Chain A
């Protein structure tokens, strides 16, 4: 028996007659790095949005850590320790780097509706915020306005903010998308580092990243699962090679 932190059964989503995702079964094992790959339009982001409850499935069920979350609100599942990132950089652009992390940290304080208190009460989170920034290599940018960071650093900040919630399960939507080779290396190392004591499910386009990082890969094509297993196995699957690898080899050299 496997210990799945996230379990989807028969997950389907139809948009006005068009079946974007159909009948997906997914088991994300606790403590693993699980990657979801597939060509453009394969339904990766849709699956992601379904799992994080940003959209509602047409059929199927999702169980997270023993609780059925098929009908839960995105906010609720975030509070249960399942936190996602976005394809487009999910930062608060006009807040300082430090404040970006503080926004996430203040959740645990339970003061967020206290409009009558000074925000000095939030200073208790500064130490933890700085520690997180150090972890992702952004300590020296604490005072910088987030929008001014280079792209790779924005992603690092996003990861620091997500880590601030101490999530049990982190969902990363294309964490290396649009990055230079150097940044890809940095973010990959960062993901491996933060995966040490948590589970990660990531959508990824870049096969190189996935091959060295993921314990298990699920390949999607046209909204269905094509193959599943470790990279060595999946990459040799003829169906995968035909649907994905061929085009991927062109795209990624």
Chain B
């Protein structure tokens, strides 16, 4: 079944600018990557972080700053933001991974709130207004990213690279041990695996790719704002992952697509969007707990056996 999803992903990804308007498609890809990165941690290690907005938004601010103030190009800008998220992830991870469950979630939330506060108060962030007017620039001095179609394919490439890194990580010797840790942590420990180090690496990877998503978002929309680092953003990514199906490869993409589409379609109803999404979330959790893709995978499996 995964083959079908791969084909679907690539075909839809390539055709998207003609099926919908590019900015929407780009936004979708950013959040899909964000959710996939988050799912690496929740679905494959079993750690629920409630602070991933710090990596997403933090990277967005850093990328915005180095592009605007230091004249970085879009690609070095995104890489700088990603690197920042990686370092931040290593620090947050080192502080949080020794705790489990609700305590882990609370520590990540508290640390993310520090980043929110810094984004509000630091001189270069623009306070309440955020960073505005980040130029998209030209990619490698050749491709003008102000051209929506060019920008779109750049974003699609970034997404695919990020997604392939996640795919590889899950299907690697490292991923095998991550699954073992999720399944039975004391046993993994007794087999001689340094559980903390595995978790820290997974956390850092997840944070890094969440950063890539945020950095790319800053270039697309040409701004970084407090919304990006707000705890609601951390909540949204949990929602996307659960809706699509945590612990499935393609689930978070479907979840992100669902949430972004709803937000877009219902935008004219103002804050009623939240009510609608909340309602859908409740229904989904009650009816199909494994998420869209998780339930689909189960149906296919039940049919074939």
Tally chain A residues at the interface, Cβ within 8 Å: 36
Q: Are A115 and B205 in contact (CB under 8 A)?
A: yes
Q: A122 is contacted by which of B173, B189, B201 (Cβ under 8 Å)?
A: B173
Q: Are B183 and A94 in contact (CB under 8 A)?
A: yes
Q: Are A107 and B193 in contact (CB under 8 A)?
A: yes
Q: Are A115 and B174 in contact (CB under 8 A)?
A: yes
Docked complex: B151-202 residues within 8 A CB-CB of A: 168-169, 171-177, 179-180, 183-184, 186-195, 197-198, 201
For B192, give the chain A residue with the smallest CB separation. Answer: A78
Q: Does A112 contact B (CB under 8 A)?
A: yes
Q: Are B176 and A99 in contact (CB under 8 A)?
A: yes
Task: Give every chain A residue within 8 A of B187 (Cβ-Cβ).
Answer: 86, 90-92
Q: Are B175 and A119 in contact (CB under 8 A)?
A: yes
Q: Are B184 and A114 in contact (CB under 8 A)?
A: no
Q: Are B189 and A90 in contact (CB under 8 A)?
A: no
Q: Are A103 and B177 in contact (CB under 8 A)?
A: yes
- Taken together as a complex, chains A and B put the C-alpha atoms of A106 and B191 apart, in Å, by 10
Task: Give every chain B residue within 8 A of A90 (Cβ-Cβ).
Answer: 184, 186-187, 190
* A94-105 vs B, Cβ < 8 Å mask (1 yes, 0 no): 110001001110
- Taken together as a complex, chains A and B put the C-alpha atoms of A159 and B158 apart, in Å, by 45
- Taken together as a complex, chains A and B put the C-alpha atoms of A92 and B182 apart, in Å, by 9
Q: A112 is contacted by which of B171, B179, B183, B193 (Cβ under 8 Å)?
A: B193
Minimum CB–CB distance for A93 against chain B, Å? 6
- Taken together as a complex, chains A and B put the C-alpha atoms of A104 and B183 apart, in Å, by 14
- Is the contact region of chain B dominated by helix, strand, or loop, or is it mixed? helix
Q: Does A39 contact B (CB under 8 A)?
A: no
Q: Are A74 and B190 in contact (CB under 8 A)?
A: yes
Task: Give every chain B residue within 8 A of A109 (Cβ-Cβ).
Answer: 173
- Taken together as a complex, chains A and B put the C-alpha atoms of A54 and B195 apart, in Å, by 14
Q: Does A117 contact B (CB under 8 A)?
A: yes
Minimum CB–CB distance for A162 against chain B, Å? 8
For B247, give the chain A residue with the smallest CB separation. Answer: A94
Task: Give every chain B residue within 8 A of A113 (Cβ-Cβ).
Answer: 174, 197-198, 201
Task: Give every chain B residue within 8 A of A111 (Cβ-Cβ).
Answer: 173
Tally chain B residues at the interface, Cβ within 8 Å: 27
- Taken together as a complex, chains A and B put the C-alpha atoms of A63 and B112 apart, in Å, by 45
- Taken together as a complex, chains A and B put the C-alpha atoms of A161 and B180 apart, in Å, by 12
Task: Give every chain B residue within 8 A of A91 (Cβ-Cβ).
Answer: 184, 187
Q: Does A165 contact B (CB under 8 A)?
A: yes
- Taken together as a complex, chains A and B put the C-alpha atoms of A75 and B177 apart, in Å, by 14
Task: Give every chain B residue within 8 A of A44 (Cβ-Cβ).
Answer: none
Q: B175 is contacted by which of A93, A107, A115 (Cβ under 8 Å)?
A: A115
Q: Are A119 and B173 in contact (CB under 8 A)?
A: yes
Q: Does A18 contact B (CB under 8 A)?
A: no
Q: B191 is contacted by which of A104, A118, A122 (Cβ under 8 Å)?
A: A104
- Taken together as a complex, chains A and B put the C-alpha atoms of A95 and B79 apart, in Å, by 36
Q: Are A74 and B175 in contact (CB under 8 A)?
A: no
- Taken together as a complex, chains A and B put the C-alpha atoms of A68 and B189 apart, in Å, by 20
For A147, give the chain B residue with the smallest CB separation. Answer: B183
Q: Are B183 and A93 in contact (CB under 8 A)?
A: yes
Minimum CB–CB distance for A87 against chain B, Å? 11
- Taken together as a complex, chains A and B put the C-alpha atoms of A83 and B187 apart, in Å, by 10
For A100, give the chain B residue with the smallest CB separation. Answer: B180
- Taken together as a complex, chains A and B put the C-alpha atoms of A161 and B64 apart, in Å, by 50
Minimum CB–CB distance for B195 against chain A, Å? 8
Task: Give every chain A residue within 8 A of B168 (Cβ-Cβ).
Answer: 115-118
Task: Give every chain B residue within 8 A of A86 (Cβ-Cβ).
Answer: 186-187, 190
Q: Are B193 and A84 in contact (CB under 8 A)?
A: no
For B183, give the chain A residue with the smallest CB separation. Answer: A92
Task: Give every chain B residue within 8 A of A52 (Cβ-Cβ).
Answer: 190
Docked complex: A133-184 residues within 8 A CB-CB of B: 161, 165
Q: Does A79 contact B (CB under 8 A)?
A: yes
Q: Does A121 contact B (CB under 8 A)?
A: yes
Task: Give every chain A residue within 8 A of B171 (Cβ-Cβ).
Answer: 118-119
Task: Give every chain B residue within 8 A of A161 (Cβ-Cβ).
Answer: 191
Minimum CB–CB distance for B253 against chain A, Å? 20
- Taken together as a complex, chains A and B put the C-alpha atoms of A161 and B192 apart, in Å, by 12
Q: Are A114 and B191 in contact (CB under 8 A)?
A: no
Q: Are A165 and B175 in contact (CB under 8 A)?
A: no
22 contacts between A and B (CB under 8 A): A54-B186, A75-B189, A78-B191, A86-B187, A92-B179, A92-B187, A103-B188, A103-B191, A104-B191, A106-B176, A106-B177, A107-B193, A112-B198, A113-B197, A114-B172, A114-B173, A117-B173, A118-B171, A119-B172, A119-B173, A121-B173, A165-B191
Ranked 10 nearest A-B pairs via Cβ: A78-B192, A115-B174, A92-B183, A90-B187, A115-B169, A111-B173, A103-B180, A79-B192, A115-B172, A119-B171
Chain B residues close to A by CB (< 8 Å): 168-169, 171-177, 179-180, 183-184, 186-195, 197-198, 201, 205
